[in-house]
A and B are shown apart, each in its own frame.
Chain A
Amino acid sequence: MSEIALPNVDRTIVSKKDIIVNNLKQFTDKKNVLSELDEIRPYETDALAAYKNLPLAVVLPENTQEVSEILKFCHRENIKVIPRGAGTGLSGGALPLNDAILLGLGKFNKILDIDFDNKCVVTQPGVTNLSITHAVKHKGYYYAPDPSSQLACSIGGNVAENSGGVHSLKYGTTTNNILGVEMVMMDGTICRIGGKTLDQEGYDLLGLICGSEGLLGVITEVTVKILKNPQTVKAALIGFPSIEDGGSCVTDIISNGITPAGMEIMDKALIDATEKFVHAGYPMDAEVLMIVELDGTKSEVEELFKQIKQIAEKNKSNSFKLSKNEKERLGFWSGRKAAFPACGAMAPDYYCMDGTIPRGKLSEILKEISRLSKKYNLGVANGFHAGDGNLHPLILFDGSNKEELRRTEEFGAEILKACVRMGGALSGEHGIGIEKRELMCEAFNDNDIQQQINIKMSLDEKNLLNPGKVYPILRKCAEEGRVHVHRGEEKFPDLPRF
């Protein structure tokens, strides 16, 4: 099991487990409180399975009132609470603590109101991202943010992580696509923020909650905006002979005033891997492959693709293929979407990073990554949401080799540091969680972090809601840099492995 510093365990809470469990049973159906070891073990980790930790108990409330009662009780008794959606998070945000209740929102799985007049859907937080689109697509609408995990991840988790996807380039991430939430504060107060109106008066609490990784309140209802499907959608596959050419093409497209719906880049390693895996028909002579998708009116899409083709040629593209129909368009994406499992076929393990950089630094970071790849003697495959500079390098390694594990972690941390150095950020969409907590000092100084902690403490003065996440707990930022090296001996005994 991996070593990671967690907040001190409150032994008195642990010793009162039976009493606490019995109390919890007053607030919700008895069968919704899980406390036996067998039952709580499957909840010990999320999709970042490198970290595991057992909760004191798991509670699966069924409505907002129950959540409120449970939180009120925990607040009074000083019991920590960890919210959990679908458990697909990749930064360990829902990692339990031994003296904490894991509050699962799996039973909040109903869509409450589909309001076509106001172009919004009111839903419980446990509903999956994709089922919102399914619920409105018969009238030609959809919910825009599309994380690759959209089939399984919950909308509550999306709000907590401010998730994005391929189409965030044009349509924004979760924060740009929700209108309101209902939230329960740690002391049990139920609060409604926003609703069916645009913006809200006073402080933008919605903006604060979005991306707060479950530290400020438990989301019990979400109102999302829905959009009408675009008239025409087309995608093109463009191959380039070098990283530089692909990178500068991305910048040129954007600076020519074109905003594609999505713009992805894959490097040679990923092209090879995915082509073997799904046979998407990718050009094998390309060092870098770009998938550009445009939507709009027919003539607009055609006109812009003409321009993109010219821009690509100027950047020495060696192939250009425009989707002829919907089937072919989906085919283009199939390879990109299978990136994870495809990498699983190349190495026993892979570790997915998530940093952002300014678009213009694309080739620079790619070169840096390949330099680091040689330095650490580890393979890496790169998939990028290139349009918004969000990179997902997949470091390939063998988890049974401890030495390789250590190198993998250092490699990953160096990539993220390079992102920050180039003016980017530590995380574009997966969040900080526990995984990148100690790296926060790369991007922020003590003042910045203290201000964030002050906000947290003003809304949760006992620090009971999801403690130990997002903010560094090991050291002060003054000592940044070396922190992760000291973190422990066995870092990633088992990393995600598709």
Chain B
Amino acid sequence: MFTEEKKNSQIFQDSNHLSPTSELEVSELIKEAYKKKFPIDIHGSNSKKFIGYNVQAAKSLDFSNLSGVIEYLPEELYIKVKPGTLIKDIENILEKNNQELSFEPTDFGYLKDGKSNKGTAGGCVSCNFAGSRRFKVGSVRDFILGFRGVNGKGDIIKSGGTVVKNVTGYDLSKLVSGSFGTLVALTEVTLKISAKKPSQNTIIIYEKDPKIISDLFNMVLSSSNEISGAVFVPDEPKSKKFAPNKSKAFKLNDLDQEGDFFAFRIEGDQNSIKERIKDISNEMDLKNYKTSNLDIYQSDLFWKSINSLQLFSETKNNLLRAVVPPSKSEKMMSFLKNKYRYFIDWSGALFWIEVPGDQNIKEVKNTIIQNDGYVTIIKKSEDFEFTEKLFTIDDTKLMISKKIKESFDPRGLFNPGKMYKDF
């Protein structure tokens, strides 16, 4: 134990790129950093590195070598993995048992270089970006049953467990999701998994009127038909500022490339899908619209494209992620018109907006805030000047967050400045 400790201390001294292979090693490296007050950049596969501010750190702690499934119990509906495990690998393992991560982790790979890259489990948890089923099944944080990790002093801590119902102390699993690696260096996460639905269909409605679209979103939310995804994809603005992507991103036999469309997904067994579509056709008066129906294969590809943001593939512009109360979607659409490239997910509650040029960000941000929403600047254009904050937060919450940060990481070593300038 003692020699092991010494060895790690030596490794810490010698190298700026640390790639631990065990929890104990993580703990010892962080203990060293704590002693020496060295800030650390924590990362997995770096698939989402561009999100947030650049971290200025002496050492970088790479978790890609701390990977692998620790325990997978399909019948208990959980999988326990090390943080560097690739989401792709987890999904492949689950697939064999007809299971899935039903929160549909957002794939940021296309944004960066036009290829899929869902990153690691640790990164996925730390960012808390859930896909299209969010409004129905919950966010990433709702699927974290427990974790183990190392805090800023090098202490190994755990919270939660493997069971769904658990009120023993604060629910730190929630706190850690969406903390961008600023609270805990995760060494183990337990994810709740779900059975994959046997089949799915997606109905496309060709429509562009903001009022009608917003009504359709509302119908989705008020329907008892368990719709598990609803998006609106408007046509791309005819401007040189946006490299056309839409027809490539949604290249499907039964999807008409021209014009704006609304789409919703139904999952279940064949019979209940049929039953639901019939019911929804009445609810939404579908006969009055031009529609098409994507079968299971096309439907699958369609939602993959949505959840990997292929509309913005390799964009050079800024990309904003805005969450608003769904009733505000109409106002947002009327503002965005065809000035910006965007699409709406979460049945009217999530907007992905591509904004060329720094000067426009302010106007978009203000509109979002006027509509009671919040916004994150996900991707920055090359000439981004950092006049706008990347994350929005009010002063009281900032004060609370700062205190919580200090309780985990008193010396502010983990990803300093990643989320907020202050810490």
Please pick, from B76, B157, B271, B373, the residue contacting A360 in the complex, using a CB distance under 8 A. B76
Interface size of B by CB at 8 A reads 85
Please pick, from B77, B223, B272, B397, the residue contacting A296 in the complex, using a CB distance under 8 A. B272
If A203-B179, A448-B159, A458-B406 touch, whether A356 touches B372 (CB-CB below 8 Å) is no
User: B318 near A: Cβ within 8 Å?
Assistant: no
Please pick, from B156, B161, B224, B403, the residue contacting A229 in the complex, using a CB distance under 8 A. B224
Q: B272: which A residues are within 8 A, CB to CB? A: 296-297, 299-300, 303
Q: Which residue of B lies closest to A232 (CB)?
A: B224
User: B171 near A: Cβ within 8 Å?
Assistant: yes
Among the interface residues A176, A191, A299, A432, which one has the most CB atoms of the partner chain B within 10 A? A299
B161 touches A423 (CB 8 A): yes
Contacts A/B (CB < 8 Å), 7 sampled: A199-B128, A207-B175, A213-B167, A436-B168, A440-B169, A452-B159, A459-B403
B373 touches A197 (CB 8 A): yes
B163 touches A425 (CB 8 A): yes
Compute the total of residue contacts between A and B using a CB distance below 8 Å.
251
Q: B75: which A residues are within 8 A, CB to CB? A: 251, 254-255, 359-360
Q: Which residue of B lies closest to A460 (CB)?
A: B403
Q: Which residue of A lies closest to B74 (CB)?
A: A255
A451 touches B155 (CB 8 A): yes
If A229-B224, A385-B165 touch, whether A254 touches B77 (CB-CB below 8 Å) is yes
CB-contacts of A441-458 with B (<8 A): 443-444, 447-452, 454-455, 457-458
User: A485 near B: Cβ within 8 Å?
Assistant: no
User: B254 near A: Cβ within 8 Å?
Assistant: no
Q: How far is the CA of A296 from the CA of B273 in the complex (A)?
A: 11
B268 touches A300 (CB 8 A): yes
Interface 1/0 per residue, B116-148 and A, CB below 8 Å? 000000000000101000110011011000000
User: A234 near B: Cβ within 8 Å?
Assistant: no
User: B59 near A: Cβ within 8 Å?
Assistant: no
User: B151 near A: Cβ within 8 Å?
Assistant: yes
Q: Which of A5-13, A167-175, A344-352 contacts B (4 or more CB under 8 A)?
A: A167-175
A430 touches B164 (CB 8 A): no
Q: How far is the CA of A192 from the CA of B393 in the complex (A)?
A: 11
User: B226 near A: Cβ within 8 Å?
Assistant: yes
Please pick, from A118, A210, A216, A436, the residue contacting B325 in the complex, using a CB distance under 8 A. A118
User: B166 near A: Cβ within 8 Å?
Assistant: yes
Please pick, from B130, B269, B276, B374, the residue contacting A197 in the complex, using a CB distance under 8 A. B374
Q: How far is the CA of A229 from the CA of B223 in the complex (A)?
A: 9
The distance from the CB of B395 to the nearest CB of chain A, in whole angstroms, is: 10
A428 touches B175 (CB 8 A): no
What secondary structure prevails in chain A residues at the interface with B?
loop
Please pick, from A199, A212, A388, the residue contacting B165 in the complex, using a CB distance under 8 A. A388
Please pick, from A205, A229, A424, A429, the residue contacting B167 in the complex, using a CB distance under 8 A. A429
Q: How far is the CA of A175 from the CA of B342 in the complex (A)?
A: 31
Q: How far is the CA of A278 from the CA of B419 in the complex (A)?
A: 57
B135 touches A198 (CB 8 A): yes
A191 touches B168 (CB 8 A): no
Question: Which 9 pairs from chain A and chain B are nearest by CB?
Answer: A207-B174, A257-B195, A255-B75, A428-B165, A300-B272, A117-B327, A196-B325, A454-B407, A458-B407
Q: B68: which A residues are within 8 A, CB to CB? A: none
If A191-B396, A202-B419, A457-B407 touch, whether A427 touches B128 (CB-CB below 8 Å) is no
If A119-B221, A360-B76, A454-B408 touch, whether A202 touches B172 (CB-CB below 8 Å) is no
Q: How far is the CA of A297 from the CA of B274 in the complex (A)?
A: 10
The distance from the CB of B225 to the nearest CB of chain A, in whole angstroms, is: 7
A451 touches B396 (CB 8 A): no
The distance from the CB of A131 to the nearest CB of chain B, in whole angstroms, is: 21
User: B65 near A: Cβ within 8 Å?
Assistant: no
User: B108 near A: Cβ within 8 Å?
Assistant: no
User: B349 near A: Cβ within 8 Å?
Assistant: yes
Q: Which residue of A lies closest to B183 (CB)?
A: A203
CB-contacts of A272-324 with B (<8 A): 296-300, 303
Q: How far is the CA of A251 from the CA of B74 in the complex (A)?
A: 10
Q: Which residue of B lies closest to A251 (CB)?
A: B75
User: B218 near A: Cβ within 8 Å?
Assistant: yes
